[in-house]
């Protein structure tokens, strides 16, 4: 039985309060064998917040995030990181880091005793031309400096590499790898299999893969939910990831948005923050918040 985990504590200081529990997403289905593990995860939440809530709150309220906080109400970084049990002492991979939104959170949270590593696409695996391939390599090489600029922390706190060839000293050393709003690209580029296998190799035994992904309705057509529209069906994601040597530990509705019909002709990019429609459409979708999202916690088998 798949477990839907509710936030059970409030963050210390001024961090946003945990969202209320929501029912399991319609059509999410059942997954036998995870009930006890999921309940253990629920019970661990209170201890996690007692141990790390103050550090997480400090990271979320850091001045470098002043422009980022408007999105917290939609992306729930505190609840998401707590759900994945990301501790401040851990080595964490941020897969396909972009404009720095999660990098700023993770950088400050891990900046004392942990380590943040930017993990970039294998540039040879997808539909990337020579210019794009070089851009991916440059992004990985420059991640430490960019993260330092984003956070104001020393560049030595960060590192980055592509998944083209895994450095031997990195294999089996990661506590957590987070794949946030990126699975649809891996699916539509037909590189999800190879990329996730490499992430699995990087994780320690029992390490955690955290997935946040735009969610299609359970009855969406395969053509709509193949990644080309940004949305994927939750059961498809669970089945696929589990086939690669992971097991689902728990699922959370913390990033759910029932106001998103998830059936836009223009795909998820019709929703904020992209707002890919005309002025009238943008005015409509702006009021809906961001996309409906699944939040899935997998353990390396």
Phi, psi at residue 80, to the nearest 5°? -65, -45
Q: 197: left (phi > 0), else alpha (psi -120 to 50), else beta? A: alpha
Over the stretch 125-165, which tens digit does the pLDDT of each residue have?
999 999 999 999 999 999 999 999 999 999 999 999 999 99
The pLDDT of residue 37 is: 52
Closest CA to 295 of 97, 60, 39, 84: 84
Question: Is the pTM above the cut of 0.75?
Answer: yes
Mean pLDDT for 80-87 is: 95
Query: What radius of gyration, in Å, describes the C-alpha atoms of the chain?
Result: 18
DSSP 87: -
Start-to-end Cα distance in the chain? 18
The pLDDT of residue 8 is: 30
- What Å distances lie between residue 139 and 73, 122, 125, 133, CA to CA? 29, 12, 16, 10
The pLDDT of residue 221 is: 98
CB atoms within 10 A of CB 115: 19
Domains of the chain: 4-300 (3.40.50.150)
Mean pLDDT for 219-233 is: 98
Question: 277: pLDDT confidence band, cut at 50, 70 and 90?
Answer: low
The pLDDT of residue 282 is: 75
Three-state DSSP class for residue 233: strand
The pLDDT of residue 276 is: 74
Phi, psi at residue 210, to the nearest 5°? -105, 125
């Amino acid at each position: 039985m798949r477990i839907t985990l509710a936030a059970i504590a409030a963050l210390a200081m001024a961090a946003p309060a945990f969202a209320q529990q929501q029912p399991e997403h319609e059509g999410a289905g059942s997954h036998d064998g995870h009930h006890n593990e999921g309940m253990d995860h629920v019970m661990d939440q209170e201890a996690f917040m007692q141990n790390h809530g103050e550090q997480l709150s400090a990271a979320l309220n850091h001045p470098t995030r002043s422009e980022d906080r408007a999105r917290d109400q939609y992306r729930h970084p505190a609840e998401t990181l707590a759900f994945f049990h990301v501790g401040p002492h851990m080595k964490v991979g941020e897969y396909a880091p972009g404009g720095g939104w999660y990098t700023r959170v993770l950088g400050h949270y891990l900046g004392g005793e942990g380590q943040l590593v930017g993990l970039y696409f294998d540039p040879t695996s997808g539909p990337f031309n020579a210019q794009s391939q070089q851009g991916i390599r440059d992004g990985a090489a420059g991640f430490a400096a960019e993260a330092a600029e984003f956070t104001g922390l020393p560049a030595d706190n960060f590192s980055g590499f592509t998944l083209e060839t895994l450095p031997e000293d990195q294999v089996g050393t990661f506590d957590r790898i987070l794949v946030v709003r990126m699975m649809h690209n891996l699916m539509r580029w037909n590189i999800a299999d190879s990329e996730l296998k490499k992430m699995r190799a990087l994780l320690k035994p029992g390490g955690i893969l955290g997935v946040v992904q735009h969610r299609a309705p359970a009855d969406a057509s395969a053509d709509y939910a193949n990644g080309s529209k940004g949305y994927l069906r939750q059961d498809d994601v669970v089945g696929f990831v589990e086939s690669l040597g992971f097991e689902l530990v728990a699922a959370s509705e913390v990033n759910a948005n029932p106001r998103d019909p998830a059936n836009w002709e223009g795909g998820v990019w019709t929703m904020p923050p992209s707002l890919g429609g005309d002025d009238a459409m943008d005015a409509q979708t702006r009021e809906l918040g961001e996309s409906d999202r699944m939040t899935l916690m997998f353990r390396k088998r």
